[in-house]
Amino acid sequence: MKQRSALALLFIVGCATGGVAAQLVVPPVRAGTSPTRWEYACVSAGTNGGRVTATANKLGAEGWELVSVAPAEWNGGTLGYTTEALTLCAKRALP
């Protein structure tokens, strides 16, 4: 009898908790709305003379958000990529 009472109590608590937890979950995207669409741009910028900073500032002024930076050139040697030029990739929301 104790086991049945404990099981019934556990069931009731579980049901009550499930109802409350469902209200705490972030709702999915509502039907009829569309997710944000993005456009992307990747540009190469030399590291000499502050060109990377100037390029990043120009992209930012145009509404672009920097999302990645990577070496732009393979030197073919044992060291692999050089840092003489970097590729900056950015995104911005489409209107």
pLDDT tens-digit series, residues 31-84? 677 888 999 999 988 877 788 889 999 999 999 999 999 887 766 665 666 677
Angle subtended at Cα 82 by Cα 49 and Cα 40, rounded to the nearest 5 degrees: 75
Q: Say how far apart CA 9 and CA 17 lie, in whole Å.
A: 12
- What tens digit of pLDDT does each residue of 16-25 get? 666 666 667 7
Structurally, the chain folds into a number of domains equal to 1
Three-state DSSP class for 78? coil
Q: Say how far apart CA 23 and CA 20 lie, in whole Å.
A: 5
- Which pair of structure tokens corresponds to residue 81? 């990529």
Q: Say how far apart CA 46 and CA 90 lie, in whole Å.
A: 17
Domain range holding 74? Answer: 2-27+36-93
